[in-house]
């Protein structure tokens, strides 16, 4: 698995497609600083947001979720594993 992940509507893109989308995203953001909505529109999406999941960069894209303003990438930690037979 590549370190550059892309989730579209909650589904991971294959590595090659993810790398290609990250390449397009990086080029777009260099030419259109902060224009997440423009990139999403160019890709046929409603929104795209860079996030950090377990310390790795992830582009989270959606065909229906609204675009949020550009800002620091949210950090998401993995959910703790629950031990079988234990109640929390």
How is the chain split into domains, by residue range? 5-68
Backbone angles phi, psi at 25, to 5 degrees: -60, -45
Query: pLDDT tens, 3-61?
Result: 789 999 999 999 999 999 999 999 999 999 999 999 999 999 999 999 988 888 999 99
* pLDDT exceeds cutoff 60 at 87: no
* pLDDT exceeds cutoff 60 at 86: no
Q: Are 66 and 47 in contact (CB under 8 A)?
A: yes
Q: Are 63 and 40 in contact (CB under 8 A)?
A: no
pLDDT attached to residue 54: 87
CA geometry: angle 59, 62, 67, nearest 5 deg: 85
pLDDT attached to residue 68: 85
């Amino acid at each position: 698995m590549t370190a550059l992940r892309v989730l579209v509507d909650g589904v991971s893109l294959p590595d090659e497609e993810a790398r290609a989308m990250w390449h397009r995203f990086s080029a777009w953001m260099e030419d259109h600083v902060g224009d997440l909505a423009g990139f999403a529109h160019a890709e046929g999406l409603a929104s795209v947001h860079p996030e950090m999941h377990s310390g790795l960069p992830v582009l989270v894209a959606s065909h229906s979720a609204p675009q949020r303003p550009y800002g620091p990438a949210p950090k998401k930690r993995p959910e703790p594993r629950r031990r079988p037979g234990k109640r929390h």
